[in-house]
Amino acid sequence: MSRTALRNRWNDPSGGLGYHWRARRYRVRLWQPYHARVAQWLAAWQPPCRTLVLVGPSAGYALSDEFIARFAHCVVLEPDPLARWLLKRRLGAARCRFETLDVFDDPAALAALGTRAADTAILFCNVIGQALDADTAPPWRARQHAALVNHHWASWHDCFSSTVAPVALPDADDIARGADASAEVARRLWAGLRCAVVDHGTFGWLPETQHALWHLAPHQWHVVGWGVHRPRST
């Protein structure tokens, strides 16, 4: 197996069987407000591209049929075999192709993503904050921004998470302060609450990030960011 191959993972902290079980249990009960927000973000994102690369979509729980139908082809990078099977059933084998680049583990794979045809858009589906952490995210971000500078790409990603709901979401002042202020922003969001907060290292990933709250499980809350990159010429 080459260095760039995405290995099958039936279970890992960010996906696999445990994630499908949670989706089955909480998708209707807890995830709907968050999915509605993701749907708004995706509806407003209109890259003029025929091909879409989905990175870490799982079974596409947050992706509507209307959104997927806007693209002629989908390329999927997803290590979870069950997620791939579910997604293939939904999209149809003719419209989606599964590839094995691991853009997080191999810099060459990330660079290869940036050499795709210009009418390819790339969507990171709540994976950046899961595959990376506060230490590994900043150098990967620099490589990602350089590799994909000429492509339309977008990402929604975990910024902070905790077993307790935050009292607020990031506001315009927080966003303007950018990535360096993430620890202070996390303190403000959970002000007055005694709990641990995980910083996923992704706050301020893109300049005009919007935020939503994901009630992932009864005792698990994630502040999720959304941002878009447009190539200079468009």
Ligand X SMILES: C[S@@+](CC[C@H](N)C(=O)[O-])C[C@H]1O[C@@H](n2cnc3c(N)ncnc32)[C@H](O)[C@@H]1O
Residues at the site binding ligand X, with contacts judged by CB under 6 A: 6, 9, 14-15, 19, 55-58, 61-62, 77-80, 83, 102, 104, 125-127, 130-131
Q: Minimum distance from CB of 40 to ligand X (Å)?
A: 14
Residue number with CB closer to ligand X (58 or 209): 58
Query: Pairing mode, if any, of strands 120-125 and 210-217?
Result: unpaired
Q: Minimum distance from CB of 77 to ligand X (Å)?
A: 5
Residue number with CB closer to ligand X (161 or 209): 161
Contacts of 217 by beta carbon, 8 Å cutoff, 6+ apart: 22, 26, 30
DSSP state of 52: E
Instruction: Say how many C-beta atoms besides its own lie within 10 A of residue 215's C-beta.
Output: 17
Question: Where do the H-state alpha helices sit in 45-190?
Answer: 65-69, 81-91, 107-113, 128-131, 137-147, 172-177, 182-189
Q: What CA–CA distance (Å, rounded) separates 206 from 178?
A: 9
Q: Minimum distance from CB of 216 to ligand X (Å)?
A: 9
Residue number with CB closer to ligand X (131 or 174): 131
Q: Minimum distance from CB of 218 to ligand X (Å)?
A: 17
Q: Minimum distance from CB of 33 to ligand X (Å)?
A: 14
Residue number with CB closer to ligand X (1 or 172): 1
3-state SS, residue 196: coil
Strands (E), 167-219: 197-199, 210-217
Q: What CA–CA distance (Å, rounded) separates 59 from 87?
A: 5
Residue number with CB closer to ligand X (51 or 178): 51
Which residue is nearest to ligand X, using beta carbons?
15
